[in-house]
């Protein structure tokens, strides 16, 4: 009997008529990720031979696909290995044949992530994806929305070192204390795509890295009330950029019921509508891709992860436009 025999899970897949949510998502990502450009970026530093004459390394394309699956589904290294064993859709996306191929174990998955971190490839993946989007006619140059969000870090000391992550810090928001990091984004006001990413400890004020989130060509910048005073800072002084920063909530609440007061309130509402576009990438990173708590220790590892997530968020937000072009 020629050819490979179908395993039970493969048989299930061939008889299933309805495309699952996961299959639909992965088939869209298959079409919109610039695979060739990302492989060309990583290839120069990817090992060509196994250690000490051992097994040859897994194909780079497979490891890259596994790494992206890990980000999309917020999986730890062991959970990624398990998912590849248990979920045929994910295995197929990674290009693994269960009958003849070995499945990378959690150590192999960890080693690939360390390779990206060591060579600062998170930022380069983000830049490569944005260059691809730009080539597809999605420029991000007109106006910028700046915003930040908190990502919690485990505050437990029940770990190998017996202490919390030294690079994470705590901050107070409202009446609540948070321990972790901040993700700061510069988002294009028209396309809603991320053009700049900065990560800091949670106690760094939103204003501190604000200038790094601007690409320099924008005519207008939108920001919430936490960015009051941005126009007066040394890094932004003298620019012709218009800064449209939200009024402090307390001040807005006491606006007079006069034509001027009502007009001021309408202006604040209009600014809020534009700023809402800056919330979409955070929603994708935290809700869609599940990055609400750091699993990795230290800022360098998390910076790499956040940049990869920002690249994947842009592809997700632009997927409908990209699928039309593809």
pLDDT, one tens digit per residue, over 1-14 is: 444 444 444 545 55
Q: What confidence score (pLDDT) does residue 2 get?
A: 46
The per-residue pLDDT for range 215-258, each reduced to its tens digit, is 888 899 999 998 998 888 888 777 788 999 999 888 888 888 89
Q: What confidence score (pLDDT) does residue 326 get?
A: 61
Distance between CA atoms of 254 and 130, rounded to whole angstroms?
A: 43
Distance between CA atoms of 156 and 181, rounded to whole angstroms?
A: 15
Phi-psi region of 318 (alpha: psi -120 to 50; beta: other; left: phi over 0): alpha
The pair phi, psi for residue 187, each rounded to 5°, is -120, 135
User: Exposed, middle or buried by CB within 10 Å (0-12, 13-18, 19+), for 319?
Assistant: middle
Pairing of strands 169-173, 242-245: unpaired
Measured distance between the N- and C-terminal CA atoms of the chain, rounded to whole angstroms: 39
Distance between CA atoms of 231 and 211, rounded to whole angstroms?
A: 10
Among residues 64, 106, 71, 68, the alpha carbon closest in space to that of 85 is found at 106
Q: What confidence score (pLDDT) does residue 10 get?
A: 53
Q: What confidence score (pLDDT) does residue 3 get?
A: 47
In this prediction, the residues of the chain whose per-residue pLDDT falls under 70 are 1-17, 50-54, 98-100, 156-162, 326
Residue 39's CB is within 10 A of a number of other CB atoms, namely 14
Among residues 145, 144, 140, the alpha carbon closest in space to that of 191 is found at 140
Q: What is the CA radius of gyration of the chain?
A: 23
Q: What confidence score (pLDDT) does residue 239 get?
A: 76
Q: What confidence score (pLDDT) does residue 233 get?
A: 85
**Whether the Cβ atoms of residue 315 and residue 129 lie closer than 8 Å to each other:** yes
Domain ranges of the chain: 8-119, 140-297
- Which helix (DSSP H) or strand (DSSP E) does residue 201 occupy? strand 194-201
Q: What confidence score (pLDDT) does residue 52 get?
A: 65
Q: What confidence score (pLDDT) does residue 172 get?
A: 73
Q: What confidence score (pLDDT) does residue 299 get?
A: 92
Please enumerate in sequence order all residues whose Cβ is within 8 A of that of 57, keeping only pairs 6 or more positions apart, or say none: 46, 47, 48, 49, 50, 63
Pairing of strands 242-245, 220-223: parallel
Distance between CA atoms of 210 and 196, rounded to whole angstroms?
A: 10
Distance between CA atoms of 142 and 4, rounded to whole angstroms?
A: 54
221-236 burial, b at 16+ Cβ within 10 Å, e below that, comes to: bbbbebbbebeeeeeb
Give residue for tokens 């396309």.
Answer: 191
């Amino acid at each position: 009997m020629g050819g490979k025999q179908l395993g039970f899970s493969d048989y299930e897949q061939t008889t299933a008529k309805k495309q699952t949510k996961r299959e639909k998502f992965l088939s869209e990502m298959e079409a919109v990720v610039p695979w060739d450009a990302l492989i060309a970026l990583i290839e120069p530093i990817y090992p060509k031979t196994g250690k000490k004459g051992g097994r040859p390394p897994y194909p780079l394309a497979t490891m890259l696909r596994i790494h992206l699956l890990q980000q999309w589904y917020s999986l730890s290294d062991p959970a990624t290995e398990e998912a590849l064993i248990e979920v045929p859709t994910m295995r197929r996306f990674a290009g693994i044949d269960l009958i003849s191929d070995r499945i990378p174990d959690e150590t192999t998955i960890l080693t690939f992530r360390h390779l990206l971190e060591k060579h600062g490839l998170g930022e380069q993946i983000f830049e490569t994806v944005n260059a691809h989007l730009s080539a597809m006619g999605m420029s991000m140059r007109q106006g910028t929305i700046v915003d930040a969000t908190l990502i919690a870090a485990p505050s437990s000391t029940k770990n190998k070192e017996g202490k919390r992550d030294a690079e994470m810090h705590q901050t107070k928001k409202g009446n609540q204390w948070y321990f972790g990091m901040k993700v700061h984004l510069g988002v294009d006001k028209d396309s809603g795509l991320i053009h700049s990413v900065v990560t800091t400890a949670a106690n760094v004020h939103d204003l501190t890295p604000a200038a790094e989130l601007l690409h320099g060509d924008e005519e207008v910048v939108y920001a919430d009330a936490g960015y009051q005073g941005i126009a007066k800072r040394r890094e932004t002084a003298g620019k012709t950029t218009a800064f449209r920063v939200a009024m402090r909530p307390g001040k807005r609440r006491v606006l007079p019921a006069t034509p001027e007061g009502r007009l001021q309130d309408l202006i604040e509402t209009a600014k809020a509508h534009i700023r809402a576009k800056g919330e979409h990438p955070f929603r994708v990173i935290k809700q869609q891709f599940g990055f609400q708590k750091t699993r990795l220790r230290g800022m360098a590892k998390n910076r790499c992860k956040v940049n990869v997530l920002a690249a994947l968020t842009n592809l997700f937000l632009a997927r409908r436009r990209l699928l039309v072009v593809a």
